Amino acid sequence: MAKLTAGVTTSHVPSIGAAIDLGKTQEDYWAPLFKGYDFSKQWIAEKKPDVVLLVYNDHATAFSMDFVPTFAIGCAERFEPADEGWGPRPVPTVEGHPELAFHLAQSVIQDDFDLTIVNKMDVDHGLTVPLSLMFGQPEAWPCKVIPIAVNVVLFPPPSGNRCYELGQALRRAVDSFDQDLNVQIWGTGGMSHQLQGPRAGLINQEFDKDFMEKLVNKPEQLVHKPHVDYLREAGSEGIELVMWLIMRGALDAKVVEKHRFYHVPASNTAVGHLVLENTTE
């Protein structure tokens, strides 16, 4: 049977991808950020996931204001890097796992979650930057990836509780898949940031660090946090953090924290990163 072994959270700031693509990772500004992922690169090389369920938000690339699903799952065999206005990132094509993806869709929909099934879409920096942070610049990504897109761009986004419950439903679906697969789930986005208006550039380190601590050890204290709290405390784009709750909901109640990293700033954003392992054998 498939086994969900670990979870990862990470920000997916587009300028991080640009720094990687342009060879700027060792510059004074960027080096401290990338150093925070040294452990994770070694860890994931040892753990060798077969499939990553990568929770992210599309940035008006695959979806537009004409069509915005709350939750969507990519079931295609492959996903090309998107052109976000300056050409696609020079990264490998993302290889999907259609059989597991359709199993997840069937299981989760029958578990009362209305996922939109997407059989063709390009994937933007929300998905490719986390892959680059964890795997570097390989000729091909070393695992299959199932994109799970969440609407945190247009109002209303899903509640934290609904996201957490979706993670639990995904865990049940993985556990019932009859192939021997090492599966990880990643929650991306955040942390505190605001991209426009009088509060543009807002970063709330106290909020971010408290969120990370509770996510690891007391996630039940986060699941009912109202959207307005994210807006007030973490900026208009801080709502992306509900995607981390999908990751956490898919893990055991008690997890082993292998790595925690927090860095300010990357562009105008706070970067947070966790590596968590399940305790069940």
What DSSP line would sit under 99-112, residue for residue? HHHHHHHHHHHHTT
Task: Give Cα separations from 190 to 50, 90, 211, 273, 274 (angstroms).
Answer: 26, 24, 11, 10, 12
109 by Cβ neighbours in 10 Å (0-12 / 13-18 / 19+) ranks as middle
φ, ψ (nearest 5 deg) of residue 144:
-80, 155
Tokens of 9: 């959270």
Cα 71 to its chain centre, rounded Å, is 13
What's this model's pTM, rounded to 2 decimal places? 0.97
- 82 within 8 A of 90, measured Cβ to Cβ: no
Known catalytic membership, residue 125: yes
**pLDDT value of position 147:** 98
Name the β-bridge partners of 54: 147, 186
- 2 within 8 A of 177, measured Cβ to Cβ: yes
In whole angstroms, give the CA distance from residue 40 to residue 49.
13
Architecture of domain 3-199+207-258: 3-Layer(aba) Sandwich (3.40)
Known catalytic membership, residue 227: no
Domain boundaries along the sequence of the chain: 3-199+207-258
Helix (H) or strand (E) holding 79: strand 78-79
Residues 132, 138, 143, 145, CA torsion sign: positive
**pLDDT value of position 281:** 57
**pLDDT value of position 208:** 98
Helix/strand/coil for 212: helix
Q: Which of 125, 227, 259, 263 is catalytic?
A: 125
φ, ψ (nearest 5 deg) of residue 6:
-160, 165
**Dihedral class, residue 25 (left if φ above 0, else alpha if ψ from -120 to 50, else beta):** alpha
Nearest to 137 by CA among 34, 27, 243, 265: 34
Q: Which of 12, 97, 103, 193 is catalytic?
A: 193
Helix (H) or strand (E) holding 206: helix 205-217
**Along the 281 residues of the chain, how does pLDDT read in single tens digits?**
999 999 999 999 999 999 999 999 999 999 999 999 999 999 999 999 999 999 999 999 999 889 999 999 999 999 999 999 989 999 999 999 999 999 999 999 999 999 999 999 999 999 999 999 999 999 999 999 999 999 999 999 999 999 999 999 999 999 999 999 999 999 999 999 998 899 999 999 999 999 999 999 999 999 999 999 999 999 999 999 999 999 999 999 999 999 999 999 999 899 999 999 998 75
Nearest to 125 by CA among 44, 58, 194: 58
Tokens of 84: 């976000």
**pLDDT value of position 280:** 72
